[in-house]
Amino acid sequence: MQQENARRSNRERTEATRAALMAAARALFIEKSYAETATPEIVAAAGVTRGALYHHFADKQALFRAVVEREAAEVAAEIERATPDAENARQALLDGGRAFLAAMATPGRTRLLLLDGPAVLGRAAMDEIDNRHGARTLREGLEAAMREGAMKPAPVEALTALLAAAFDRAALSIEAGAAQADFIETLGVVLDGLFLPTP
């Protein structure tokens, strides 16, 4: 038996407390939404006090932001890990989209990133987070496809936003019970429509 609270450095204490808070908060935000989760619940589940919470985070929203930010980074990492390198730009986009849907199938991610995130942090903040992680890859894929001459020219920022929104909605509908195959097929049709016919 080892002492459960042996001497720990401040660095370790901070890391452990923040991790416990973020894990507990994530679980509750997913189960009941941000608005219906109270800070007393979070700290009880994390095994700390509200004092600790407000010492490490400015307020409840800052804790939520930290959770969302980490989740977005994990989604981006999963996508990057799952899409090694495709032959052409078209296949790369399809593979990336499929990997995105797979990553978003992790329970709670749609609520965190697509429902509560935009409402609590604002769409501008979510855009900024996205651009730092997932959406950047999508935009670069589209730019590459256009540069290759395989894709119809269009304003890249706008096209990135529209396609990202379509993928987001697909993830939401699939989580709500819609047929995944239908959405993957339809996303393929939409993407194919953006490519020039190969003569």
Residues that bind a second copy (CB under 8 A): 33, 35, 115-116, 118-120, 122-124, 127, 152, 154-155, 157-159, 161-166, 168-170, 172-173, 176, 178-179, 182-183, 185-187, 189-190, 192-194, 197
d(CA 143, CA 140): 5
Least distance between a second copy and beta carbon 51 (Å): 24
136 binds DNA (CB under 7 A): no
3 binds DNA (CB under 7 A): no
Per-residue tokens: 16: 């452990």
43: phi then psi, degrees, rounded to nearest 5: -70, -35
Please state the separation of Cα 187 from the chain's center in Å. 19
Please state the separation of Cα 115 from the chain's center in Å. 11
Decide if 116 contacts 64 (C-beta within 8 A): yes
Least distance between a second copy and beta carbon 61 (Å): 10
Residues 19-48 that bind DNA (CB under 7 A): 37-41, 48
107 interacts with, out of DNA, a second copy, none, CB within 5 to 8 A per kind: none
Least distance between a second copy and beta carbon 11 (Å): 35
Residue appearing with tokens 């006090």: 49
d(CA 42, CA 17): 12
Q: How many residues does the chain have?
A: 199
165 interacts with, out of DNA, a second copy, none, CB within 5 to 8 A per kind: a second copy
Least distance between a second copy and beta carbon 193 (Å): 2
23 interacts with, out of a second copy, DNA, none, CB within 5 to 8 A per kind: none
Per-residue tokens: 157: 């920022």
